[in-house]
Each structure stands twice: as structure tokens, then as C-alpha cells.
Structure 1
């Protein structure tokens, strides 16, 4: 009798510890459409922020401009929401047999085509405006997604397509994710709670305590609290811990209504804080509400309970929101250059028409980018696979969620079921 062939050694995977500690396998798909809808709301907040801070459409009406400053400044927290959401969905949708290299390639395939396409469009826009385009240092930092790292170089941070600075942070998060996830899965749920609470406290006090430790480095407070990827990774880590708590059935928290009230209260509080606290003040005031809302929405989707964020059109807008995020500032500058944004006698109605035109222009451009570049390039770079996986392109009706500036998609089935009896 021929001896039985020796069993091959087990394959080392990125998520070995996740497999070892998983209590069971899922039996039903967990659609997170509410998070997709919320993603559109966050992208719209950032659009409104840039209308308020980077255009002078309402320069002839000081009262209208003051109202915009009060109502729309809270959009700064939209990036913080994206970072938390990014960590949440990636931790929720881990493939137990995945490898780090495959994970990184899917992330590259998702974010880089849109980044490169908008980089080229931005170069054309700068050339059209008669501005310098060829700058090899800025090009290097931008195209390698390192442009949020250089201290004190705002011309590098916001080079070419300004919103792409956040992709530099996301790239760092993706690089660290396999190690972070493996480490978190070795901890007990109590440790996830401790990390979550500590992260919320860190984000909440950072803009107020930054003066205590920024001087030894000689870096600006703005760089440390808003652009430095290791600091922003606290938000990503918070999202990962929240996902593990919800996915394992350990989450205790209020529902969506209470969470939204907490967010609105935080936004109102941020509006009264002095400007000296900088761009991170809004994240500091809203992080608690966002940390409550994401688990509440995920549980609503798992249990199929009522959620206003699952409306079909809102979900579609959420799917194109990464493209919208990447094109909206380019469209804003194109409208500004074409019609001017500092006309001293422009009526408020005409200014409102320009805002609406900018929004429609950005939305149409986002749809084109999403369907012509983003989805086809993902299929090409990932070999045309159509399984509903994290970072992949799900088939119609598979119900994946798209989140974060980097546009992550949650798997249709969570690696572990949510234990409804413990939530």
C-alpha cells in the first residue's frame, strides 16, 4: 500500500490569529448599507466645508457668509468620521484566509486609480490657470502618497488635488492594518473597550493639550493634530475596536437617535470654540457621537431594523462618494476660475446658483469617475474577481458597504455573527 501523502504545512496568512479565535462562521449575509448612506452624508459635509472656506461666492452678503461659517464649519469632522469608518469596515470584513500582500493590492486597486486620474485632471486645471505644474518634489510626494508627512509644507500637503492628503494617511493605515488586526485579535474584549475609550479621550483632548508637547519637535500644531498619519491612526484604531466589539456581540450603546443627538450637540459645541484650537476641534467634539452611531447603524443593518440611511438612492450616492470626494474641490476651483468668486456686487441668489452648479458639476464628474475609472480599474487590477469582498467589486445585489476616503467595501458576510443576545 502506498503511504498517504504528507499533509502540506498550513499556509501562513495575514489573519492567522483571527482564524484561531473565531467562535463560529456566519450563516447569513450582513449588509451594511446604512454605513454606505452615512458615507455620502460625510462627503457632503466636506463639500459644504470647502464651499464655506475656499470660495467667496457670498462675499457681497456678509450675513450670508457669516451664516455659512456657522453652519458648515462642522464639515471638518467629516474626515475624522471617514477614518473611524475605515477602521470599522476593514476590521468587520476581514477574510480569515487572506494574506497581507493580497490585502494591500486590493487597497491599492481601490484608491490609486482615482487618485492618479484626479492628479492628471488637476495638472490640466493648474495649467489652464497659468500656474506652475512641473514640480518634481511635490509630484514625488503626491504620487507616492507621502504628501501628508513633511512637516510644515502645506504646499506639499495640498498639492495638485487637495483632498488627496487624506489618502496619504489611509495608505499608512493600510500598511499597518495586518499587524494591528493580529494584535487586537489576541486581546480580550475588555481590552477593546479600554482602547476605544482611551482613543475617544485622546481625540477629544488633543487640540486642547497639543501646546504641551508640540514645541520639542518644532512642528506646527496644525500638522500634528490634522495631517500626521500616526496621530490620525488613533481614529482608525478606534473604528477597528468598535467593529470587533459589535461583531463579537460585546457592544453596549444607544441607538441611532441618541447617537445623532450627541453628534449635533458636539457640532454645536465646536462652533463656540475659539479658532485657536484649529481644525481638530470639530473631531474632538464629535468623536463620541460618531463612535456611538457606527455600531448603532451596523446593528440596525444586521438585524434589518429600520434605518433612514438605507434608502436606495442614498446608498448609490454613498457608492460614488469616494469619487465625489476626489473631484469636488477640482470642480469648485474650475467654477471659481470660470465665473469668479470675489465679485463685490454679486446677489446672494446668483451665489446660491453657483453653489448648486458646483455641486451638480461635482456629482456628474463623480459618477463618470466611479463608472469609467474606479470600477473598471478595480476589475482589471484584481483579475476580474467579482466576489463581494473587502475592497472588491460586489455583484449586483450583494449589498457591500463603501466607506472612508479610501473607499473600503465591507464583505457581504461578516467573519463572525453578531450575538444579538449580548447587545
Structure 2
């Protein structure tokens, strides 16, 4: 352990928590019966509850921790069109019509964040800063350039290439062979979004309760009997909004979600002169590695938030912090003496087809599996599943119409994670 890399006030909690406003939850008794019980008080659950409460349904949101404790306060605040598979791959799986619908919903997830900011009036710090996606190998730059020239069949990306000779306009590093800019991708202030979403949901009439784990969900002839840490609740409908924290509550969903740790550090404040030279824009940042780095400046442009997957298995944030710092310095040697003020992790909900999923089974609704792009998609699919539970959904989501795969022998523990990461590291080394 290199203690010289940590500030005196170093914390193993998300940087965003220090800045977040404290939304006090009203004290209330656990109701005996509700129309809709939402399991999980993050982006998915609150956006769903906002819809059901506005439709006049008695809505209760329960979280095993403080609402937002999971990835809704542990992410990097980056928003894109949220789909990992290429359009060509989607076409090969599902055909052109379904592929197009999936991509349109990816765009809709980004548009929904603008809706929350502009129409709902939520102060979430939304900014259309664009994304710079760096090529870590020359042939990967050429691949990006070909894709950029062809354009996207569905999205109006307005993307443009940045050759290596012009890298100083985007980043102060010589570790990329150029890259591509997607100007419509956005950032948010994570410390603002969840608290303001929770406040909006409370105003709509939903009850929200933290530190009240849901232990079992039992079907009845009509609705569900839900056993919680504070007693029993009868619910007409249940919405599972647990994503990477799903666990054994529903074994069917547990077999389809792969919890993978994502690790993040925040640096101490960096001098303005260094920040302006290394990061002349406020873009969100990523690269072509399979084991991707994602990073950005804090909203006040004083710190770097740097995240990625750095271990074969799950590890302590103190251990991951050292590795993330090493990787950060490999990109930006000038930051070698900059210390770490925060280090944390959260469980991303991955799926075997690298797509999000939502649906319903006789009153049990779900939305999950955002594969590391959950800020926009969790919010959007939470809204969609809330509308479906309210009975006001005009047409089913495309993510509701595709199969939700699992694999033989998988029961929720990703035993295959370490060998998969080793393979990805080899592929990243050669740019395969």
C-alpha cells in the first residue's frame, strides 16, 4: 500500500456523496397494502415509481440500503445512446426492423435525460459536452474512421474524427492514435440527479423507505405477498429495479444478470493550468479497449474521475485505487504526483447479450442489465416499465420483445469472469 498516493482525508465512498444534497425521507409506517411495490431506490426504481404515483397508484419504494446507495451514486455521470452491440450485429441477431427499433430506443434514452432536465425541470447538471473515444491502436483508429465515414443507419451522430496530429485539441496525452468525437453525448452531475429525482418522486406521492430489504416475494391468487425487513406488505404489482444488486430474490433474473465490479477513483484538486492543458474540453472520455477506461473531469473542473475494470476478481477499492492510479498515469504522466481523495466501486449489471432488458410476468415487472451504460437507459426503461405497470404504455419497448438469455450452469456467480478478463487483456494488447 502506497500511503503517499492518498490524501489525508481519503474516503472509500463515492466522491458524489460529499456533494449531494440531503433529501430527508418522511417518517412513515410501512403500509399493509399498496398497488405497486418497487424493489430498489435507484434510477430505475424511482423513474418507475414517478410514473405509477402520478397515475394515482399507491406506490412504495423499498431499498436495502439508503436509496441511491448502489450504482445510482457510484457511476461516472456519462450518458450516451446506451447500446453496446453495433447495428450490424443487432441486424444479424434480430433482423433490420428490430435492430432499428432497439437503436431508436437507445436514442430515446438520451432524449429522456433532456426531458428530465428541460421539461421536468430537474437540476441534474445535464450538459451536452460530447464524448471523445480514443483509439489505442493505429488499426482501431482506421476502423473508427471507416465507421464515421459510413455514418449510422439510425442515429444522427454528427461524429467527427480527430487524427493523432490534432490530439492536443482534445487531450494532453500521446497514448492514443487519435479518436472519434460524438458531440451529442452528455454528462450529468451525479450528486444532483438522484436526490432531485427522489424529491420529485416524493412530490408525486410515492412512499420511499430505505434500510428495508425485501426478503421474499410470494405470488398469491391476486398480487403478491412481500416479506421485508420491517414486516409484510401485500402488493398488487411488483417492480424489480435491482440491476447489478439483484441477488437471489428472483432466481430467474439472477441467472440472467452478471454482477461485475466497476472501480473509480477521484483525484485531489489539480491546478487549473494542468487541467486546461491536459483536458481542454469538458468531454466525457473512453477508449477502444475491451477493458475500457471511462473518465471525465468533475463538474467544477478541479478533479479527474477515472474508472475501469482493473482486477481479475472483485477486490477492495484500496487495491483497485493503486491500479487505477497507475493506469491514469500511463495516459497522463504529468499526474504521477497527484493523490487520490476517493476510491469506490459498484456492481454493473451485465447480460449475456450485452443488451438491457425489461418485461413483465403476471404482475412482476423488471428493467435491468444496462451493461455499464445505465444512467440514461436505467432512467428511460424505469420510466417505460412504470408506464407499463400503470397501464398507460402505448406500445411495448423493443427491449421487452427480445429474449433474455442465460447460460447453462450459471446461477448468479460469475465464475467465468477471471478467464474472460484475461482474454480481454490479451485482445487489448494486440487491439483485436
The bucket for the TM-score relative to the shorter chain is under 0.3
More helix per residue: 1 or 2?
A: 1
More strand per residue: 1 or 2?
A: 2
**TM-score scaled by length of structure 2:** 0.26
Q: Which has the higher contact order (CA 8 A, sep 6+)?
A: 1
**TM-score scaled by length of structure 1:** 0.26
